[in-house]
Amino acid sequence: MTEQLRLMAVHAHPDDESSKGAATMAKYVAEGVQVLVVTCTGGERGSVLNPKLDRPDVWANIAEIRRGEMDAARAILGVEQAWLGFVDSGLPEGDPLPPLPEGCFALQDIEVAAAPLVKLMREFRPHVVTTYDEEGGYPHPDHIMCHNVSVAAFDAAGDPERFPELGTPWQPSKLYYDIGFSKAKIMALHEAMLARGEESPYAEWLERWEDRPDKGPRITTRVECADYFPVRDDALRAHATQVDPDGFWFHVPMELQQHAWPTEDFELVRSVVDSPLPESDLFAGVRETAQVR
């Protein structure tokens, strides 16, 4: 009997876990993998993006509400979840941009912010860690900090000379970045909508694409998880303050999504096991080396 496989997904805010890699997590949970979502902040400075909940009572209790939403999404996905305990930095807007709030996550020293994540890695002992790329997936200061902290913790968790007070060293085998959207994916969904004679919600996005780099060539790993797209969407809707159920994310029919692009995509950036690329499994190379109980 081989050791139970373990996956840790590190995210900036509650709701990020349901919009990035959620179907992959649900698939692995169904296969018996132990999955832990780490949420760096409480999302205290997030917007209320569902117009039906844009009310004073919601704004007054947003931190508590977002914790409840995270509990609901966690249960839907079947994952475990831990809070890292930092305060949301908010998304600065304006020209020039205003300073970030004192004490927020994005202003923490990397070594200080990485410490609780190192502790979690040594306790949970993940074989695979997923997080955001160097741009944070998109340039929210908390997403960029999440990337920095995740990489720092991945590199430190197995080093006995780093954070010796935080438990027995454990080196995760692989580190991945979520590649949520590539030009090929958006084009596939766009063209599939047009082929059905329906208006595509991606038209404007594609018009602006020339101004942004395409991360598609960075994809090393495509996980077939279309059967779990409905679970992903249910988890996303559980974050009711953050997602309009009548909004953009739900305009493309489920069966079209499952047919046009049935994978979630990742970039392998660190590995201590042999795993030829391209891959179709985050645990490729790990399954063969997992120790017997």
Show binding-site residues.
13, 16, 143
**What is the C-alpha radius of gyration for the chain, rounded to an integer number of angstroms?**
19
| Tokens (6 digits) for 255 | 């069966």
* Bridge partners of residue 279, in order along the sequence: 221
Distance between CA atoms of residues 275 and 151, nearest Å: 20
Distance between CA atoms of residues 181 and 233, nearest Å: 16
| Tokens (6 digits) for 10 | 């590190």
Binding residues for Zn(2+): 13, 16, 143
Distance between CA atoms of residues 84 and 39, nearest Å: 6
Distance between CA atoms of residues 99 and 107, nearest Å: 10
| Tokens (6 digits) for 144 | 């960029």
